[in-house]
A = this chain, B = another copy of it.
């Protein structure tokens, strides 16, 4: 068991284990975004950092088919930050929050050596919540967009290289339109943050230790690329046409990975979490 899994297992709440916690009328999610862990200051502007921290958090709510409403932000930031730098950060937060119709309602700031951002998203509980655990035997499993680019870009950045302005790593392209429209046909859903293989193993495990009959062989680069923030989902094979229609309507490429079976799935990627 990873230390993260152990720590989480210490809290025996029925709400833990999905992208967000569903309680009452809301879905709550909270993610950390930290300098020298999730990003290096030299890679991105402060506005880009704020944007990405917000996007990866919104992704959790969207993956559960919930509409983000309110946002709390906690920031640890270096004392020497200028007012101009604070404005760059707030611009990034505001731009993304507005684009998704959510309001920043509070938070906390404190001084520290490194920039760390903790975001809490409060999203409206939808009539149909998409859990990881909803997949059924015989479901088709698919993902949105293309995978592998984020890994490629991260490798380049780690080697001291640069990436373009439309970089996936810098600004994930959430597939909210597709997800909200398709949700009524879906059985299970989550976002791909730790790589297709790892996240797929979570979805299948949560759905009663299912396995996958893989339709097409995929490269390690595609299977293990983290921080993609594409959507991973399963649905009844008979809904394939409807899903493909919505994908076309929302201009969202989708790729069917395979069909769920009773056998247990094993992930062969390296753990991203410590």
- Chain A contact residues, CB within 8 Å of chain B: 3-4, 6-8, 10-11, 13, 15-16, 20-21, 23-26, 28-32, 34, 36-38, 69-70, 72-76, 79, 81, 83, 86-87, 89-90, 93-94, 103-114, 116, 118, 120, 122, 273-274
Closest 10 CB pairs of A and B: A118-B118, A10-B90, A21-B105, A15-B105, A21-B106, A111-B274, A30-B72, A120-B120, A74-B118, A11-B104
A32: contacting residue among B7, B74, B105, CB under 8 A: B74
- Is the CB–CB distance between B106 and A28 below 8 Å? yes
Chain B residues whose CB sits within 8 angstroms of the CB of A20 once the complex forms:
106
A86: contacting residue among B6, B30, B37, B89, CB under 8 A: B6
- Is the CB–CB distance between A30 and B106 below 8 Å? yes
- Is the CB–CB distance between B30 and A87 below 8 Å? no
Chain B residues whose CB sits within 8 angstroms of the CB of A15 once the complex forms:
70, 103, 105-106
Bound state CA distance, A8 and B83, in angstroms? 12
Chain B residues whose CB sits within 8 angstroms of the CB of A31 once the complex forms:
74, 108
Q: Which residue of B lies closest to A38 (CB)?
A: B110
- Is the CB–CB distance between A109 and B4 below 8 Å? yes
A–B pairs, 21, beta carbons within 8 Å: A3-B81, A3-B83, A3-B86, A3-B109, A7-B109, A11-B94, A13-B104, A21-B72, A23-B105, A23-B122, A28-B105, A28-B120, A29-B72, A32-B74, A32-B108, A32-B118, A34-B112, A36-B112, A38-B110, A72-B120, A116-B116
**Residue with the greatest number of chain B CB neighbours at <10 A, chosen from A32, A37, A87:** A32
Beyond A28-B70, A74-B118, list 5 extra A-B contacts (CB 8 Å).
Answer: A3-B109, A23-B70, A28-B105, A34-B110, A109-B273
User: Could you tell me the distance in whole angstroms from the C-beta of A253 to the nearest C-beta in chain B?
Assistant: 29
Bound state CA distance, A250 and B118, in angstroms? 37
- Is the CB–CB distance between A79 and B274 below 8 Å? yes
Q: Which residue of B lies closest to A78 (CB)?
A: B274
- Is the CB–CB distance between B37 and A105 below 8 Å? no
